[in-house]
């Protein structure tokens, strides 16, 4: 009997050791940990936990148990939700879209500002629970009503599903603001990472609907904004920086935008861009619009490879404006509301934010830009993680709260 128990136990130990060794190898030999971020030990521990989850998810995927993103989501569901005694929280459904409403418990003599929040997670992970503490904080410290939207994720749902959900929830909220005590002249869209993508896309769509209240402002926190050029300085300089490496970012893009991974090289080389789109890309994603100091180290200009017509036809959905809002026409950009953009130095998406800032400013849109010199992608979610909290996450939160309160 003991022998029968010994072999499964031994196999489990070997399996665990193998995963542990692979995580250590991946972290120390394939990932960059910039010294300028500081807090190196807790940064390494946090990243190893992240890699452990990713690799266990990949194994489950190979074994046909569940997809890697679903494994991560199940793991995150085990983390208890923190309640805020000063905020009232309600779970609702706007049609088929689950949402969570946050309202300060303190009474208000006037209508409150409204914040529509779209969470990050690369369109494959992230949930209302994962962002519960952040939304409570925003509601409490800005004295605003916050609506957090739970949109559909990949790989179960493909391209535009998430955008459609966010658009539907936003329209419903905008049409029922009185129900929630929200001032129709002070509604803000806010999101981080791919949530910033959704903010930009939804905001561009909402300005075409004059029957709805106008959005007062948009807040984009290290957003992903384009799939035209994967050779921008930040994509080269930070391609191996922990959490959002270029490889992991491409994995997220492939899953949500339904792209076959075999096209990775073509996309990285820009071979998917037809001649007319290359001209648009050169105008709107011109590297000369990125300040010189961001191009001084680790960047080499690369021209797009020869046009591959099949690569374009198989993957043209990644070039749609809803998925690459940075490329929108000038007449759309010019109508956008006041904008807050937060970028992080150690983030492959840094230059998406810088280029969008330039496009907005060129069209006369007021922009507040804050660059976090010791920031990295995803850092905002560490603000309430005690030992794993990074000071710059609190700095970003202060920037957001100050911007919203002064609108």
Average pLDDT, the chain: 93
Average pLDDT over residues 144-150: 98
d(CA 193, CA 174) in angstroms, rounded, equals 23
Is 17's pLDDT higher than 80? Answer: no
Tens of pLDDT, residue by residue over 227-284, are 999 999 999 999 999 999 999 999 999 999 999 999 999 999 999 999 989 988 888 9
d(CA 92, CA 394) in angstroms, rounded, equals 29
Per the CB < 8 A criterion, the answer to whether 118 and 151 are in contact is yes
Q: Encode burial over 90-106: b for 16+ CB neighbours within 10 A, e otherwise.
A: eeeebeebbbbbbbbee
What are the structure tokens assigned to 184, written together?
Answer: 């129709």
Tens of pLDDT, residue by residue over 29-82, are 999 999 999 999 999 999 999 999 999 999 999 999 999 999 999 989 888 898
Average pLDDT over residues 289-310: 91
**What was the pLDDT predicted at 23?**
86
Average pLDDT over residues 6-27: 73
pLDDT band at residue 298 under the 50/70/90 scheme:
confident
**What was the pLDDT predicted at 319?**
94
In Å, what is the CA distance from 174 to each residue of 90, 107, 167, 171, 188? 18, 22, 11, 5, 11
Is residue 193 part of the annotated active site? The answer reads yes
pTM of the entire structure? 0.95
Per the CB < 8 A criterion, the answer to whether 367 and 356 are in contact is no
**What was the pLDDT predicted at 375?**
97
Structural Rg of the chain based on CA atoms: 22
Q: Find all residues with CB under 8 Å of 277, minimum gap 6, and list them.
A: 228, 319
Active-site annotation holder among 67, 139, 148, 193: 193
Lowest mean pLDDT: which of 50-64, 171-185, 330-344, 356-370? 50-64
CATH superfamily of 84-407: Alpha/Beta hydrolase fold, catalytic domain (3.40.50.1820)
Average pLDDT over residues 338-349: 98
State what percent of residues in the chain have pLDDT above 70: 97
Average pLDDT over residues 156-162: 92
Instruction: Give start-end residues of each CATH 3.40.50.1820 domain in the chain.
Output: 84-407
**What was the pLDDT predicted at 302?**
87
Is 1's pLDDT higher than 80? Answer: no
Active-site annotation holder among 47, 272, 370, 377: 377
Lowest mean pLDDT: which of 19-33, 244-258, 375-389? 19-33
Active-site annotation holder among 130, 347, 351, 352: 347
Is 386's pLDDT higher than 70? Answer: yes
Average pLDDT over residues 125-144: 97
Is 301's pLDDT higher than 90? Answer: no
Is 12's pLDDT higher than 70? Answer: no
**What was the pLDDT predicted at 11?**
59
**What was the pLDDT predicted at 324?**
96
Is 10's pLDDT higher than 70? Answer: no
Per the CB < 8 A criterion, the answer to whether 103 and 180 are in contact is yes
**What was the pLDDT predicted at 104?**
97
Is residue 347 part of the annotated active site? The answer reads yes
Residue of 245, 222, 238 lying closest to 393 (CA atoms): 222
- What is the separation of C-alpha 11 from the centre of its chain, rounded to a whole number of angstroms? 38
What are the structure tokens assigned to 317, written together?
Answer: 């959905």
Average pLDDT over residues 116-127: 97
Average pLDDT over residues 199-214: 96
pLDDT band at residue 205 under the 50/70/90 scheme:
very high
d(CA 284, CA 279) in angstroms, rounded, equals 9
Is 5's pLDDT higher than 70? Answer: no
């Amino acid at each position: 009997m003991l022998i029968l128990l010994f072999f499964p136990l031994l196999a489990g130990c070997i399996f665990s050791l193998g995963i542990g060794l692979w995580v250590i190898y991946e972290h120390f030999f394939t990932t960059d940990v910039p010294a300028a971020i500081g807090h190196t030990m807790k940064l390494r521990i946090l990243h190893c936990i992240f890699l452990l989850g990713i690799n266990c998810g990949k194994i489950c995927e190979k074994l046909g148990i569940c997809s890697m993103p679903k494994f991560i989501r199940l793991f995150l569901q085990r983390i208890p939700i923190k309640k805020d005694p000063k905020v009232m929280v309600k779970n609702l459904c706007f049609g088929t879209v689950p949402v969570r409403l946050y309202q300060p418990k303190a009474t208000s003599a006037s209508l409150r500002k409204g914040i529509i929040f779209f969470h990050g997670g690369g369109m494959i992970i992230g949930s209302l629970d994962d962002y519960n503490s952040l939304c409570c904080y925003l509601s409490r410290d800005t004295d605003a009503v916050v609506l957090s939207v739970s949109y559909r994720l990949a790989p179960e749902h493909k391209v535009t599903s998430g955008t459609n959900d966010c658009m539907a929830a936003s329209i419903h909220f905008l049409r029922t603001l009185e129900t929630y005590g929200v001032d129709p002249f002070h509604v803000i869209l806010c999101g981080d990472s791919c949530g910033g993508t959704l903010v930009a896309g939804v905001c561009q769509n909402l300005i075409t609907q004059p029957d709805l209240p106008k959005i007062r402002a948009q807040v984009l926190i290290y957003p992903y904004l384009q799939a035209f050029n994967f050779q921008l300085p930040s994509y080269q300089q930070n391609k191996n920086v922990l959490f959002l490496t270029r490889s992991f970012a491409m994995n997220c893009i492939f899953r949500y935008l339904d792209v076959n991974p075999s096209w990775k090289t073509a996309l990285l080389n820009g071979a998917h861009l037809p001649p007319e789109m290359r001209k648009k890309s050169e105008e709107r994603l011109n590297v000369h619009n990125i300040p010189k100091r961001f191009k001084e180290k680790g960047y080499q200009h690369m021209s797009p490879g020869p046009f591959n017509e099949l690569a374009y036809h198989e993957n043209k959905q990644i070039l749609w404006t809803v998925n690459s809002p940075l490329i929108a026409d000038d007449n759309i950009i010019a109508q956008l509301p006041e904008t807050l953009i937060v970028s992080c130095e150690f983030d492959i998406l840094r230059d998406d934010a810088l280029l969008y800032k330039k496009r907005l400013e060129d069209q006369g849109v007021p922009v507040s830009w804050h660059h976090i010199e010791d920031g990295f992608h995803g850092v905002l979610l560490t603000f309430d993680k005690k030992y794993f909290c990074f000071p710059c996450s609190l700095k970003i939160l202060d920037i957001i709260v100050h911007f919203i309160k002064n609108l």
